[in-house]
């Protein structure tokens, strides 16, 4: 592949939009090229439904779908930060004066963006720090309703492409398309313990995905006393309560879901698609 100077690569998260892109690749109806390969940046903390979707798509498409994990993965870094450098999740911090803030998010860059760049460099045969002579069109599953998440390329040898935006497609269009061509469930690609989740999302996880819920609660318990460079107690939910104790039904009954953070706040344009 190193003899091919220009490549088309899909950033594949196994969510609604990127799965739609993966399946329409090479179809002249949509003008999406046949990808040379796709990259799934594995944090080690996705719901099982995402990994199931990954394997189904991998067995369906004609191009390689590469999985790459940065270092030991985000789950291990969060639950055992002393084992290596900690890529901070945007956890809520209860300060000593009772106020609640939010940590700066480093996890997407550390465990998603870096993983994608590392995977592409490795696939093209480059060593660490070796100059990349290729040009890569990076296809990203951002839809028109999420245009604010369009971002700058990850590297100078990349050009970001947003075919769903060009097609004027919203998330609903992708869902309609998948219902026609894909007889499998596709959910949201996001770490089980990501604080960028509204109360409905937390409640849905608690009710329908007990394995992910247990993992999120475990992480919430593990981070409580903070890390070396933080003060105060850390929580996954903005109420600054242990996740197991949050009454989502009560919050939703009070319509307390409007100021919650969501994936539109995730401005790198990688998570959730």
Q: Residue 272: pLDDT above 80?
A: no
* Distance in angstroms (rounded) separating the CA atoms of residues 30 and 187: 23
Domain that holds residue 245: 6-265
pLDDT of 161? 97
CATH number at residue 108: 3.40.50
Indicate whether 272 belongs to any domain. no
Nearest partner of 222 among 246, 200, 244, judged by Cα: 244
Quick: pLDDT tens for 122-181.
Answer: 999 999 889 999 999 999 999 999 999 898 999 999 999 999 999 999 999 999 999 999
Task: Provide the domain count of the chain.
Answer: 1
Indicate whether 52 belongs to any domain. yes
Quick: pLDDT tens for 92-114.
Answer: 999 888 899 998 888 988 899 99
Average pLDDT, the chain: 89
Mean per-residue pLDDT for 247-261? 75
Indicate whether 116 belongs to any domain. yes
Indicate whether 54 belongs to any domain. yes
* Distance in angstroms (rounded) separating the CA atoms of residues 150 and 165: 10
pLDDT of 82? 63
What stretches of the chain adopt beta strand conformation (E)?
6-11, 37-41, 65-68, 92-94, 100-102, 135-140, 158-161, 233-235
Quick: pLDDT tens for 210-240.
Answer: 999 999 999 999 998 876 566 689 999 999 9
Indicate whether 183 belongs to any domain. yes
What global pTM score does this model have? Answer: 0.89
How does residue 84 score in pLDDT terms, banded at 50, 70 and 90?
very low
pLDDT of 96? 84
Indicate whether 271 belongs to any domain. no
pLDDT of 269? 57
How does residue 22 score in pLDDT terms, banded at 50, 70 and 90?
very high
Indicate whether 1 belongs to any domain. no
Indicate whether 81 belongs to any domain. yes
């Amino acid at each position: 592949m190193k003899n091919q100077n220009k490549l088309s690569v899909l950033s594949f998260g196994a969510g609604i939009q990127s799965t739609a892109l993966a399946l329409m690749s090479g179809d002249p109806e949509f003008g999406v090229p046949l990808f040379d390969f796709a990259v799934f940046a594995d944090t080690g903390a996705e719901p099982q439904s995402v990994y199931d979707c990954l394997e189904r798509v991998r067995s369906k498409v004609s191009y390689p779908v590469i999985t790459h994990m940065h270092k030991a993965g985000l789950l291990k870094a969060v639950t055992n930060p002393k084992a290596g450098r900690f890529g901070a999740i945007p956890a809520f911090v209860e300060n000593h004066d009772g106020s609640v803030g939010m940590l700066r998010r480093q996890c997407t860059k550390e465990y998603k963006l870096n993983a994608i760049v590392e995977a592409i460099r490795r696939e093209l045969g480059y060593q660490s720090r070796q100059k990349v002579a290729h040009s890569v069109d990076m296809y990203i599953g951002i839809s028109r309703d999420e245009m604010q998440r369009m971002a700058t390329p990850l590297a100078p040898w990349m050009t970001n492409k947003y075919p769903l935006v060009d097609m004027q497609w919203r998330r609903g269009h992708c869902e309609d398309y998948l219902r026609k061509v894909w007889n499998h469930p596709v959910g949201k690609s996001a770490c089980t313990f990501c604080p960028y989740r509204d109360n409905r999302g937390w409640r849905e996880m608690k009710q329908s995905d007990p394995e992910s819920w247990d993992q999120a609660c475990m992480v919430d318990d593990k981070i409580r006393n903070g890390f070396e460079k933080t003060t105060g107690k850390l929580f996954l939910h903005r109420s600054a309560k242990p996740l197991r104790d949050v009454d989502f039904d009560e919050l939703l009954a009070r319509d307390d879901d409007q100021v919650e953070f969501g994936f539109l706040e995730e401005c790198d344009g990688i998570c959730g698609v």
